[in-house]
Amino acid sequence: MAAQLPGLFMERMKELLGPEYELFVDTYKQSPYGGIRANTLKITVDELRGRSPFGLEPIPWCPTGFYTGEGARPGKHPYYHAGLYYIQEPSAMAPVELLGVQPGDRVLDLCAAPGGKSTQIAAKLQGEGLLVTNDLHPERTKALAKNLELYGVRNGIVLNESPERIAAAFPGFFDRILIDAPCSGEGMFRKDEDMVKQWEPETPAKYAGMQREILAAAAAALKPGGTVVYSTCTFALEENEEMIEEFLSGHPQFSLVPVGGSGPFAAGLGPLPGAARLWPHKVKGEGHFMAVLQHDGSESLDSDGEAAAEAKADLQEAALTISSRNRDARSASPAKASAGRAESGRGGKGGRGSGKAGASAGRQAQGTGEEVSLAVYADFIQELLGTMPAGYPIWFGDHLYISPLPREALDGLKTIRPGWYVGHMKSGRFIPGHPLATALRPAESSRSVSLSTESGEAVSYLKGETLSIPEERLSIKAGHASKGYTLVCIDGFSAGWGKWQDGMLKNEYPAGWRWT
């Protein structure tokens, strides 16, 4: 690396590492490691290994993660655009592995942009349960929302909030919370020279103040008996072991789950050996710190007592309902799924669509603008998928999301994406959204076509070109016409929409996503 490391930082590292210091310094002469993580919402690990155009070597602490080796350009392959893997620094894959996420959990990722760990959590949830993913900085939530869309996440809500306000809205609600804290980034100096330039002697103390507040908010949003994983990509004691010690002494219901000192994880420093460190001179990855904090299960709601408990009970009921609907939906017959839709016809702002709009979708829908729009959507989705996505419909203007939580649960919160974006109303018709496509498996769509990477068709599609596709290449479910919205897949993995008619596939891949 070219940037000069700050003298005071090096002195502190010498003190921290003692005899290992020279080995640590040598790592700055080596290149950082590249990695990808299989997106198991779309592809299995074995299938990715079989198809990968570049060599893959397993990452010891992440069963879905691989080193890609020098020369690999994973961002320049159609599989990246089909959301089959996330490009991620290897050490950054460790914290979610320690969070213990199970399908059906309610998980909060408090400091989430651009979404590496959120997409990893979503893959572990496998579409069941709830992921609330948040970042304080509005600009950064755009990349977060886009990544949830690219990786086919159906049950994610993106917020742009302070952790305190999230805790106030969801007291004692989440099973698992990840704090991938904003930090001084010392562990990334080899990979990101900007972090070196931004570092000043006071930087660790500045971040420690933020981390303290985020930890306190996480404790308030956690369900009794839940788990918090706290991680940083820095070496400074005050942001790591000292921060966790202070938290534990102020929160006696929490204890540290020992993970340091076993497997690939080095022990935490000083009095906290149970915390985990990844050191660049010991593993193939950048510097990371992790602590797993377990709540003992005792109820400890503070001042707002009853109101908070009531809000929590309502939310829990809603989340339970939706969790069981998601389970049902996976095995639902169309008839059963549409019964679910009728129940969930709520939320939304009204004012879209008209009686005429309903008629244009093939039936005379009647009722308020909101009801008509939902009816048009339902007709469209029933034809396209033969089943309805489980969840609460939430309209943002003309745009429809299917949310894992009812609209009221998000009232007053700055919500960037209340759920799975399924499409929008335009001139009385429903237009399917790109994220609807990316989250579908080919067999879920009435019409689909697979383009191969080898023939170059996949890249042509990703560039936005219209393609000539004979009808016999379409996979069409019995009883469906060949004309209409068609799920476009790359080697069998969903990538976007096309509109097929008379041998031509009109390209619906969004302009902002195209291959350049």
Ligand X SMILES: C[S@@+](CC[C@H](N)C(=O)[O-])C[C@H]1O[C@@H](n2cnc3c(N)ncnc32)[C@H](O)[C@@H]1O
Closer of 6 and 114 to ligand X (Cβ) = 114
User: What residues numbered 333-362 form the site for ligand X, per CB under 6 A?
Assistant: none
Q: What whole-number distance in Å separates Cα of residue 326 and Cα of residue 322? A: 6
Least separation, in Å, of the C-beta of 209 and ligand X? 10
List the interface residues with ligand X, window 207-236 (CB under 6 A): 210, 214
Q: Which of 414, 418, 407, 419 is nearest to 163 (CA)?
A: 414
CB of 246 to ligand X, least distance (A): 17
Nearest to 253 by CA among 290, 283, 222: 222
83 annotated as belonging to a binding site for a ligand: no
> Please, are residues 343 and 324 in contact by the beta-carbon 8 Å criterion?
no
Among 110, 123, 244, 291, binds ligand X (CB under 6 A): 110
Tokens of residue 324, six digits: 């069981």
User: Is 113 a known ligand-binding residue?
Assistant: yes
> Tokens standing for 403?
């949310």
Q: Does 116 bind ligand X (CB under 6 A)?
A: yes
Q: Is 111 annotated as a binding residue?
A: yes
Binder among 137, 346, 363, 463 for ligand X (CB under 6 A):
137
Q: How far apart are CA 304 and CA 138, in angstroms?
A: 29
User: Is residue 296 annotated as involved in ligand binding?
Assistant: no
- Residues 149, 180, 239, 286: which binds ligand X (CB under 6 A)? 180
CB within 8 Å of 417: residues ≥ 6 apart: 145, 148, 156, 157, 158, 401
Each residue 53-92 as x (binds ligand X by CB under 6 A) or -, in order, gives: ---------------------------------------x
Helix (H, G, I), strand (E, B) or coil at 296: coil
Selected range binding ligand X among 74-82, 114-122, 410-418, 446-454, rule: CB under 6 A: 114-122
Distance CA 14, CA 21 (A): 5
Asked if 480 and 490 count as a contact pair (C-beta separation under 8 A), the reply is no
Count of alpha carbons within 13 Å of 277, Cβ hemisphere only? 22
Shortest separation between residue 400's beta carbon and ligand X, angstroms? 27
Tell the smallest beta-carbon distance from residue 168 to ligand X (Å): 14
Contacting residue, 59, 82, 99, 112, with ligand X by CB under 6 A:
112
CB of 110 to ligand X, least distance (A): 5
Pick between residue 80 and residue 395 the one whose CB is nearest to ligand X.
80
- Whether the link from the prior residue into 393 is cis, omega within 30° of 0, is no
Alpha carbon separation from 197 to 185, 232, 340, 422 (Å, rounded) = 11, 18, 54, 42
Name the residue nearer to ligand X (CB basis): 114 or 261. Answer: 114
Q: Which of 115, 391, 428, 435 binds ligand X (CB under 6 A)?
A: 115
Whether 333 contacts 415, CB under 8 Å:
no
Helix/strand/coil for 319: helix
Nearer to ligand X, 214 or 266 (CB): 214
Q: 397 near 123, Cβ under 8 Å?
A: no
Applying CB under 6 A, does 496 fall inside the site for ligand X?
A: no
CB of 151: closest distance to ligand X in angstroms? 12
Shorter beta-carbon distance to ligand X: residue 113 or 458: 113
| Residue among 62, 183, 233, 489 flagged as catalytic | 233
Among 12, 14, 140, 441, binds ligand X (CB under 6 A): 140
Q: Is 64 strand, coil or helix? A: strand
The answer on whether 135 is annotated among ligand-binding residues is: yes
CB-nearer residue toward ligand X: 40 or 486 = 40
- At residue 164's C-alpha, the angle toward residues 162 and 165, to 5°, is 70
Amino acid at site 335: A
Which of 42, 77, 117, 325: binder of ligand X (CB under 6 A)? Answer: 117
**Is 115 annotated among the ligand-binding residues?**
yes
Distance CA 15, CA 190 (A): 20
User: In the bound complex, what is the minimum distance in angstroms from residue 190's beta carbon to ligand X?
Assistant: 16
Residues that bind ligand X (rule: CB under 6 A) add up to a total of: 18
Q: Rounded to an integer, what distance in angstroms lies between the CA atom of residue 56 and that of residue 232?
A: 26
Residue 304 is assigned to a ligand binding site: no
Question: Would residue 489 show up in a list of annotated catalytic residues for this protein?
Answer: no
Contact 223, 172 (CB under 8 A): yes
Q: Which residues bind ligand X (CB under 6 A)?
A: 92, 110-117, 135-137, 140, 163, 180, 182, 210, 214
| Residues involved in catalysis | 233
Q: Which residues are annotated as a binding site for S-adenosyl-L-methionine?
A: 111-117, 135, 180
